[in-house]
Amino acid sequence: MKPHTDRYRYLLGGLSVPPEASDGEILKLASDRMKRAGISPQSLHFRLYKQSVDARRRERIRLVCTVLLEAADALPEAVCRKLNLRLLPEPETDAPRGTQRLGAPPLVVGMGPAGMFAALLLAQNGYAPVVIDRGGDIADRTAAVERFRRDGRLDPECNIQFGAGGAGTFSDGKLVTRIHDPRCQLVLRTLRQFGAPEEILTLAKPHIGTDLLRVVVSDLLEEIERLGGRLLYRCRMTDFTERPDGTLSVRTTRGELQAGALILAVGHSARDTYVRLLEKNYAVEPKPISVGFRAEHLQSDIDAALYGAYAGHPRLGHAEYQLSDTSRARGVYTFCMCPGGEVVAAASEQGGLVVNGMSNHARDGRNANAAVLASVGVSDYEPVNGSLALGAIAFQRGIEQAAFRTGGADYCAPVMTVGDFLGGRSGSEPGRVQPSYREGQVRLADLAALYPAPIAEALRYALHSFGQKLPGYDAPDALLTAAETRTSAPLRILRCPERYTAAGHDRVYPCGEGAGYAGGITSAAVDGIRIAQALMSRFAPEA
């Protein structure tokens, strides 16, 4: 695919350099490789595309880099094979415009990454979407989250899960994804356009940070409004009706809205929406999830364990880890690792306690934290009123409610040292690693009692395993905080693969992580773009 710039773009990877190497030295290495392959460097434009840290040998830390080459003409196939050059496709932002009449503006339910990016593309193309969210704007959300952190006063409508930017706004702003969709680059470039740091375009594990992400979200939503979109905060959808003419009547807490199409980008915590869809006989199926707790260590210990003498090197930043153990039937893995971050109060329902992790862009906190999660299969759910889908929600909710009770029923979090968890005892006070959750509003508890016994045993075994892979991970004074349950949606809203509409419903588009089709900021945003393109390919903008 030739990009719209009329230049060919290739990726040259596998460039290994010491941490001291400058960007210029990395580009020189790429230039020399092309020259040795018989291609004049003067005919190419070079820029750093991605870099990651190879810390497999602490005594020989390396940066592994990929360079983007731009050429006016296609490079010879023999050279591409020899150097393993990959042609980089340009993301398709255009879609053939449909001619079918919408009859009313499209309505996007949810302002997380999926909803925002769907709405932005629609607004850029003249569709004037209406975008609603049960939570508030960034200022409203920030105040609500701070009240909850300080006083334990939960606002079920506006919190870490609900409001402008979705759950990702109050996280590390991680943009790592396993999908290989050209739209990923469009997502990164768009975030950069609205204020994300330039480095997200080159880091292999890009992140924005909660402090900067709030600004990015505000500016992106303002752009949707500037382009003719309409934003309604503190506006929760309670029901909708599909009319004979194809349009929809949507009931909300702020009155009735008319929609030519409905994009359901509700996020993974909109349990009331799931229940309403099940009541309306939508095709909704349970899916696997993961549950566990947050593990906290001193960031300095993680840096030393991974980087050795290179710990603190400015080119490396704080060390990150990703661990897994699949030696048993129930796999366990780490997720959403936050260097220099804190464990945050992420509940969205009264009587349930949920934790997550976040860090600011500088990642300069004392502790590192990550979710340690055991896999949960559909077979682990018990039907509720004959519904396994309701059983999936009940499984999550049951752990959250147990954590709430165990923490004292006042949103203090239950905590336990790793030494106690592994030793089958309880009562040891935190030592070197002090809890970051709500500035230490925690209570000692037996975390194993929160989970079904097979899950607790899998978590216990994995911590031993992780300690062998990353020395010190199973240190007795490391700290565990429960419960982490919202890593992904427990359900999937089935949709037609060709049109991306809900099965049997012609103008309802399930979208993003809450619909079961994404797993993070970037993949959710990509799905939002995909849904907007599908809608545009069928319908013309309203005049």
Q: What is the pLDDT of residues 127-147, one digit of tens each?
A: 999 999 999 999 999 999 999
Is residue 309 located within the same domain as residue 402? yes
| Domain co-membership, 296 together with 379 | yes
Do residue 342 and residue 476 come from a single domain? Answer: yes
Q: Are residues 268 and 303 in the same domain?
A: no
Res 1: pLDDT: 27
DSSP codes joined into one string, 228-239: T-EEESS--EEE
Contact 177, 523 (CB under 8 A): yes
Residues 6+ apart with CB under 8 A from 455: 291, 292, 330, 374, 376
User: What percent of the chain stands above pLDDT 70?
Assistant: 98
Give the mean model confidence (pLDDT) for residues 66-93: 90
Q: What average pLDDT score do residues 43-65 get?
A: 92
| Same domain for 294 and 281 | no
Q: State whether 249 and 159 are in the same domain.
A: yes
Domain membership of residue 146 as a residue range: 100-285+490-540
Residue 385, domain member (yes or no): yes
- How much is the pLDDT for 159? 97
The answer to whether 433 touches 303, Cβ cutoff 8 Å, is: no
Task: Dihedral sign for Cα 358, 359, 365, 368, please.
Answer: positive
Domain boundary pick from 87, 114, 135: 87
CB-based contacts of 43, cutoff 8 Å, min separation 6: 71, 72
Which amino acid is residue 443, in one-letter code? R
Specify whether 276 is located in the same domain as 179. yes
Please tell me whether residue 478 adopts helix, strand or coil conformation: coil
Determine how many CB atoms are found less than 10 A away from the CB of residue 506: 12
Look at residue 107 and tell me whether its pLDDT is greater than 60.
Answer: yes
Q: Read out DSSP for 48-70?
A: EEEEEEE-SSGGG-EEEEEEEEE
Q: For residue 403, how many other CB atoms are within 10 A of its CB? A: 27
Domain contains 93: no
Per-residue confidence band for 171, with pLDDT thresholds at 50, 70 and 90: confident
Type of residue found at 254: R
Is 24 a member of any domain? yes
Residue 333: other Cβ atoms inside 10 A: 19
**How large is the average pLDDT for residues 182-203?**
92
Q: pLDDT > 90: what percent of the chain?
A: 88
| 247 plus 120 within the same structural domain | yes
Assign 4 a pLDDT band (cuts: 50, 70, 90).
very low
* Per-residue pLDDT tens over the stretch 462-507: 999 999 999 999 999 999 999 999 999 999 999 999 999 999 999 9
Same domain, 113 and 233: yes
Average pLDDT over residues 96-113: 95
Domain boundary among 484, 506, 524: 484
Residue 108's pLDDT band (boundaries 50, 70, 90)?
very high
307 and 319 Cβ atoms separated by less than 8 Å: yes
Sequence-ordered list of residues with C-beta below 8 angstroms from that of 525, at least 6 positions apart, any chain? 113, 114, 116, 117, 183, 187, 190
pLDDT at position 202 is 83
Report if residue 95 sits inside a domain. no
Domain closes at, from 439, 456, 484: 484
User: Residue 205 — very low, low, confident or very high, per pLDDT cuts 50/70/90?
Assistant: confident
Q: Are 327 and 312 in contact (CB under 8 A)?
A: no
Stated length of the chain: 543
Domain containing 123 — which CATH number?
3.50.50.60
pTM above 0.85, yes or no: yes
- 437: tokens are 């959750």
Q: Name the residue with tokens 């980008």.
A: 265
Q: Domains in the chain: how many in total? A: 3
Rounded Cα distance between 206 and 49, Å, is 12
Bridge partners of 248? 242, 259
The residue-averaged pLDDT of 250-265 equals: 98
Is residue 3 one of the residues assigned to a domain? no
- Mean of the per-residue pLDDT values of the chain: 94
Residue 251 is assigned to a structural domain of this protein: yes
- What does the radius of gyration of the chain's CA atoms come to, in whole angstroms? 24
Which tokens is 38 given? 């018989």
Which SS3 state, helix, strand or coil, does residue 336 take?
strand
What type of residue is 143? A
Say whether both 273 and 346 belong to one domain: no
Tell me the three state secondary structure of residue 358: strand
Asked if residue 239 and residue 260 are part of one domain, the reply reads yes
Of the pLDDT bands very low, low, confident and very high (cuts 50, 70, 90), residue 2 is very low
Determine the Cα–Cα distance for residues 106 and 536; give it in Å rounded to an integer: 10
The total of other beta-carbon atoms located within 10 Å of residue 326's CB is 12
Give residue 431's pLDDT band: very low, low, confident or very high (50, 70, 90).
very high
Tens of pLDDT, residue by residue over 412-423, are: 999 999 999 999
Let me know whether 77 and 146 are in one domain. no
Please, which contacts does 463-470 make with residues 24 or more away whose CB atoms are closer than 8 Å? 463/295, 463/372, 463/418, 463/421, 463/422, 464/422, 465/325, 465/327, 465/332, 466/323, 466/325, 466/334, 466/372, 469/323, 470/302, 470/305, 470/306, 470/321, 470/323
pLDDT at site 349: 97
The predicted pLDDT at position 93 comes to: 65
Q: In angstroms, what CA-CA distances link 438 with 269, 334, 399, 411?
A: 21, 22, 20, 9
The rounded distance, in Å, linking the Cα atoms of 65 and 249 is 52
